[in-house]
Structure 1
């Protein structure tokens, strides 16, 4: 069996208003491209800890990426079987 390697890049940026946005992009050897996004917002009453916003936005982006990848899989299965498919998480 040949090992396959997929790469996920997570890009994070913050604005001056306490919003953190992350984008997770999956790249595969067969040129599949899937992405997900996540956002975090600093509550004005909280102390600003940038790492927490980064982690929250990144986790949401990765979760969205996983959901979008599952949607791609369902579409691929339907294209092969010509039948509707439902994949649970």
Structure 2
């Protein structure tokens, strides 16, 4: 059986002075929302380039989202099998 699925990730970026915070969220087909968070802080000696802070905060949020989704998967497998599950990273 071949299936193509599409999952959407929503990213919200909040900039405040010298820091940027990003939230990356996904709603799984099972209805579970998983959210990752990322933060970037500009060194006051560095030039003010908001796009760089956005990129770093979003990258960190996506990495956190991936880790949280892996933990969710482990819990789902454990609940299904009754055995502790550890997925490879």
- Measured after TM superposition, the shift of residue 87 of structure 1 is 1.6
- Measured after TM superposition, the shift of residue 42 of structure 1 is 0.3
RMSD of aligned Cα (Å)? 1.0
Q: How far apart are the structure 2 equivalents of 1:64 and 1:82?
A: 26
Say if 1:37 and 1:61, in contact at 8 Å, map to a contact too: yes
Unaligned residue ranges in structure 2 (runs of 5+): none
Q: How far apart are the structure 2 equivalents of 1:65 and 1:32?
A: 13
Which residue is 2:51 aligned to? 51
- Measured after TM superposition, the shift of residue 3 of structure 1 is 2.5
TM-score when normalising by structure 2: 0.92
Q: How far apart are the structure 2 equivalents of 1:11 and 1:35?
A: 11
Aligned residues: 88
TM-score when normalising by structure 1: 0.92
